[in-house]
Amino acid sequence: MTNKNAKWQLPFLAFLIIGTVLILRKQAPYQTDEGLVFGTMYKITYQSKENLKKDIEAELQKVDNSLSPFNKQSVITHINNNENMQTDSMFAYVFRLAKAVSTDTHGAFDITVAPLVNAWGFGFKNATGIQPNTIDSIRQFVGFHKVDLIDGKIVKKDPRVMLDCSAIAKGFGVDCVARLLDSKGVKNYMINIGGELVMKGENQNMESWRIGINKPIDDSLSVNQELQTVLEITNVGLATSGNYRNFYYKDGKKYAHTIDPRTGYPVQHNILSSTVVAKDCATADAYATSFMVLGLDSAKAICNAHPELDAYFIYERPDGKMDIYFTDGMKKYLRNQILEKP
């Protein structure tokens, strides 16, 4: 009986092995496309028999044509120049999402912050001399309540209002590429535009995608790659905001690129790095920036009010040492069960 079973099992096992090999060979390969967009690098890995780089870059160009203040022909540039401009669907979607996040964060997120960002030397125009009276003057025409979208057109309460969607546009660009890949039937992919990501399905090893969160060490040249932790994550959007790579020193004082729209000054709160997970990357992008402005306690309160958001914060304690805080929902993504605090 044993010999008969063995004679039957061996051919069956051989059939299974050969069948598995043939199935794997028929599977589409993973491809990686890289390039420059929105002033940063993009890297997109996806499983497809067809290379989709031309389609991807065409989609990203649509986003640039709508939301880039560096593009002289973009929708947002025409709006900032007070030209009679009908918005497109991309701009309208981002504007409405930005207004919703602004309301939810009591103005910590604000796409009218452009004049302040420019004044501090982090925007799309050259910095002006910074004096308290300069900031007070600019704040008179900064505020998300000073602009609205009516019948497809932007209506400003003050013509000096300028818009800057940089804190949400990269995330939105990631979402646009994700929708493109979905429409092409791609089931497994990771889209990374300047650290804003969407992951779906599995990586080449048939596992969840692995994403590292960098330690927030001052690194304006982006050479530090020391990781704080690693996430195993998929089917979500993720964005990280921090002041450790975009800053400058003047007269011995450090100025960070995150500006508080409510005060007009660079933030001095205790959060050093804010990573947010949401259903889409644009939402994650906007809240990651908001939390940098709000500080730890207010950021925790918003997370508690929004169970659909998860967050991982690296912050500075009163004694100057770094510490971490993460929401309960973030635990399922953490690769290590026990995290070493910095």
Which residue ranges make up each domain of the chain?
A: 40-156, 208-333
Q: Given this model, what pLDDT does residue 266 score?
A: 81
For 40-156, CATH number out of 3.10.520.10, 3.65.10.10, 1.10.4160.10, 2.40.70.10 equals 3.10.520.10
> What pLDDT is recorded for position 118?
80
Which has more pLDDT, 90 or 3? 90
pLDDT of 267 over the 90 cut: no
Q: What is the pLDDT of residue 323?
A: 93
pLDDT score of 21 more than 70: no
Report pLDDT for 214.
85
pLDDT above 70 covers a percentage of the chain that reads 80
Average pLDDT over every residue of 182-208 = 97
According to the model, what pLDDT value does residue 119 have? 82
- Sort 167 into a burial class: Cβ within 10 Å, 0-12 / 13-18 / 19+: buried
Q: Which residues pair with 240 in a beta bridge?
A: 275
Domain 208-333 sits in CATH at: 3.10.520.10
pLDDT on residue 130: 63
329 φ, ψ (degrees, to nearest 5): -65, -20
Checking if the pLDDT of 141 tops 90, the result is yes
Residue labelled with tokens 């390039």:
35
Report the pLDDT value the prediction gives residue 12, as an integer from 0 to 100: 63
Out of 24-38, 85-99, 251-265, pick the least confident: 251-265
Q: Which run of H or E residues covers position 139?
A: helix 132-139
In angstroms, the first-to-last Cα distance of the chain is 63
Q: In what order do the strands lie in the sheet with 236-242?
A: 30-37, 40-47, 189-193, 196-200, 236-242, 271-278, 310-316, 322-326
The pLDDT of residue 307 is above 60: yes
pLDDT for position 120: 74
Query: Average pLDDT over the chain, rounded to whole?
Result: 86
Model confidence at 320, pLDDT cuts 50, 70, 90, reads: confident
